[in-house]
Amino acid sequence: MEQLAEASGVSVRAISDMERGHSRAPQPRTLAALASALGLTGEEHDLLAGSARAQRMRTVRPRLCEPPRAVDDFIGRDVEIGRITRRADKVIVVHGQPGVGKTALAVHVAARLTDGYEQRLYLDLRGVDPEPLEPGEAARQLLRALDVGPRRIADDPDERCSQIRAELGDRRCLLILDNAADEAQLRPLLPGPGGSTVLITSRRMLGGLEGVLRIGLDPFTPDESAGLLRAIAGQAEDPAAAGQVDEVARLCGHLPLALRIAGTRLATRTTWTVGNLLDRLADADRRLAVLSTGDTGVAAAFALSHAQLSGEGRALFRRLTHVPGLDFAAGLVAVLTGADPHDAGDRLDELVELGLLQAEGADRYRFHDLIRLFAAERLRVEEPAGARAATRQRMIRWLLGTAITAGRSFGAGDDVTDADEAAAWLQAESGNWLGAMRDCGDDQLIVDVAEALHWFADTMVAWPGWYEVYRLSRDAAARLPDPRQRIVQLNHFAWAAARCAHRYDEGAAAARTAYRLAVDLGDLGEQSWALQYEGDARLLAGDHERALAAYRQAEPLAETAGDHDSYLQLNLGIGMALGELGRHEEALERLRRTPYEIENRPVNPRSALAARMTGGIHTARALIGLGRYREALEEGEAAMAFALEFGEPGKIGQVHLVAGLAHAGLGAVDPARADLGHAVALLHHGPMRQMAVERLAAL
């Protein structure tokens, strides 16, 4: 038997079981391996095969633990399949959120991994049922499937688990343990080193299992999603419907289960177009209902994991739908639930472990779109309207209060560490505090947030959200009784429209309105700011003469009002406008006044840093215009230090631009290419980016 086992690849135990009658109907591939090893040909081979066929005919019981049918239209997962097939002698855990296609992948791979396995087995461990399958019962079912006679199966559950480990260790089997509950359910069943492969699927990561290969599944890519829909439903193959197919995939969250249900609904309704399906999915309140068919549904899959949550976990799960942004950090948990902040990580880990929440990096989390809809349904069902409103207002006020504190600490400019921490929070939570502004309903609070973020906004100019922030504050201020607040927020809006949204005419018009209101109020300081923002909009639009006129009109107003920050910015504006008009000597004279003005005026530290940076950039540009390239490089080096401290990528890109232009003027082509390449990467809009693109192309 040992020689036959070595020659055939069939284990000694399997041969012994067949010889003694414990395994009476061997697999065809096992029989073929034995026949080949024995050298059977002709009549002898036919006699053995006929005997096996007859024995299988006499075996009336159905085959136990037979794997489910693999789908014919399986799509994607090439990377994951490659990792599994390369490690086919290991224990492999495939984990992910409900509906992501874990079982489909395991069954598909099992159908492909046929060579050398005596038997393929499948067992649903019912891990999300109220009572998952006990390890001892799982072992009993697997032993019966391996044709171990009933008399040989131990009565004691622990002994049965030992038996299945031994059987799997001695044989070469492919075992799928689907829908595992936890590590305690699995450990008694897993064999040691040997020829068997165990594929485990679970909604949990099963981090307590050692020595296993873990493969986490994400939703499909857009191309994979569209491919699955086309494979299922003929209507989706129409090239004219490609855009609608992509939108259906997006509304399904690229979740394989949702895509399969949507495709099946379309395929079974031959009079429907993709547009008909899209119309039904577009209603967020009905989307989960549409994504169900027969005994399968996306919401039902989510509900199985939801049922396993603790009471605290369920409360957090449903209340997280109040979060307005796409992702969030743990700080919001205590606000939403009233729990101890130190418990936040445990509650979030519970949701992640069950596949109901996705971890994004080290400390951020997000919902899958469809799970978010399911959580919102649970919120409506499980909490009264008054409680929902109170929780939402508590979260909104916490987000906006924190944004005000962060903005003010950043604007003060006294503590660099505080400013860096404040900036990091404001950037990470921008989608949440902006969403809170939209839903706030308190005009004065909206204005307070916008005002507190004024200095921070200069460090993140490329963010398009500023246009909405200051549109909200403009509208809120117009409803308040204080006319000065209206003027200030109109000016902020003019800046955001021109600088951030590149709506130059709209920015200039808002600034002119603010100027007229400031004149009526007699506020010289806001008049100067309004004219400055008009000049900025004109400068960006390429109307350099009108920009220069606006700056010159504003300068004496700022001086008279004693608004030193405005005066400093206007001096820079005049220098920039003169440079754009080709009046480089005059521009240089203006721009080189910047350090003197900073030293002799009590300006905000952030304003001073911005002025040193901007002044250096445009001084270098003026020197380039005069052909003084080495001096321009020196100015650019000094400006880079200020730009790096300031931290706004666009300004760093402008420094690279002037360095590239100066290098090009000196004939240093390689350094010029490098700097201009950085400028193109960092500048996303406007004439300076166009200049970088054109000069790089010329080189």
Same domain? For 47 and 121 the reply is no
Q: Choose one of 383, 408, 436: the last residue of a domain.
A: 383
What is the per-residue pLDDT across 191-242, written as a single tens digit (0 to 9) for each? 888 788 899 999 999 989 998 999 999 999 999 999 999 999 999 999 999 9
Average pLDDT estimate for 453-476: 92
Confidence of residue 276 (pLDDT cuts 50, 70, 90): very high
Same domain? For 195 and 101 the reply is yes
Q: Choose one of 185, 216, 247: the last residue of a domain.
A: 216
Q: Which residue has the higher pLDDT, 15 or 277?
A: 277
Cα atoms in the 13 Å half-sphere on the side-chain side of 259: 29
Q: How far apart are CA 205 and CA 93, in angstroms?
A: 8
Same domain? For 82 and 206 the reply is yes
Strands in 358-360's sheet, in edge-to-edge order, are: 328-329, 364-366, 358-360
- Give the pLDDT confidence score for residue 112 in this predicted structure: 84
> Is 415 among the domain residues?
no
For residue 250, give its domain range.
222-294
> Is 509 among the domain residues?
no
Q: How far apart are CA 699 and CA 688, in angstroms?
A: 17
Cα atoms in the 13 Å half-sphere on the side-chain side of 429: 28
Same domain? For 145 and 198 the reply is yes
Q: How far apart are CA 245 and CA 241, in angstroms?
A: 6
Cβ-count burial 525-536 (b if 16+ within 10 Å, e if not): bbbbbbbbbbbb
Question: Residue 111: is its pLDDT beyond 80?
Answer: yes
Question: Residue 380: is its pLDDT beyond 70?
Answer: yes
> Is 89 among the domain residues?
yes
Average pLDDT estimate for 670-679: 94
Same domain? For 91 and 204 the reply is yes
∠ at Cα 70 (66, 73), nearest 5°? 170
CATH code (residue 315): 1.10.10.10
> What is the count of structural domains for the chain?
4
Confidence of residue 679 (pLDDT cuts 50, 70, 90): very high
> Is 10 among the domain residues?
yes
Same domain? For 102 and 199 the reply is yes
Task: Tell me the one-letter amino acid at 289.
Answer: A
> Is 465 among the domain residues?
no
Question: Residue 156: is its pLDDT beyond 90?
Answer: yes
> Is 356 among the domain residues?
yes
> Is 82 among the domain residues?
yes
- Give the pLDDT confidence score for residue 414 in this predicted structure: 47
CATH code (residue 118): 3.40.50.300
Question: Residue 466: is its pLDDT beyond 80?
Answer: yes
Confidence of residue 41 (pLDDT cuts 50, 70, 90): confident
Average pLDDT estimate for 168-196: 90
Same domain? For 195 and 261 the reply is no
Please report the sign of the dihedral spanned by the C-alpha atoms of residue 60, residue 66, residue 68, residue 70: negative
Same domain? For 54 and 94 the reply is no
Percent of the chain with pLDDT over 70: 95
> Is 561 among the domain residues?
no
Closest CA to 451 of 507, 413, 489, 495: 489
Same domain? For 124 and 192 the reply is yes
Q: Is 502 helix (H, G, I), strand (E, B) or coil?
A: coil
What is the per-residue pLDDT across 471-514, written as a single tens digit (0 to 9) for each? 999 999 999 999 999 999 999 999 999 999 999 999 999 999 99
Question: Residue 61: is its pLDDT beyond 60?
Answer: no
Q: Which residue has the higher pLDDT, 325 or 113?
A: 325
Confidence of residue 60 (pLDDT cuts 50, 70, 90): very low
Task: Tell me the one-letter amino acid at 441.
Answer: G
What is the per-residue pLDDT across 304-356, written as a single tens digit (0 to 9) for each? 999 999 999 999 999 999 999 999 988 888 899 887 777 788 889 899 989 99
Name the helix (H) or strand (E) containing 661: helix 649-665
Same domain? For 93 and 192 the reply is yes
Same domain? For 310 and 367 the reply is yes
In which residue are the tokens 């307005």 written? 324
What is the per-residue pLDDT across 555-595, written as a single tens digit (0 to 9) for each? 999 999 999 999 999 999 999 999 999 999 999 999 999 99
Q: Choose one of 294, 312, 329: the last residue of a domain.
A: 294
Same domain? For 259 and 323 the reply is no
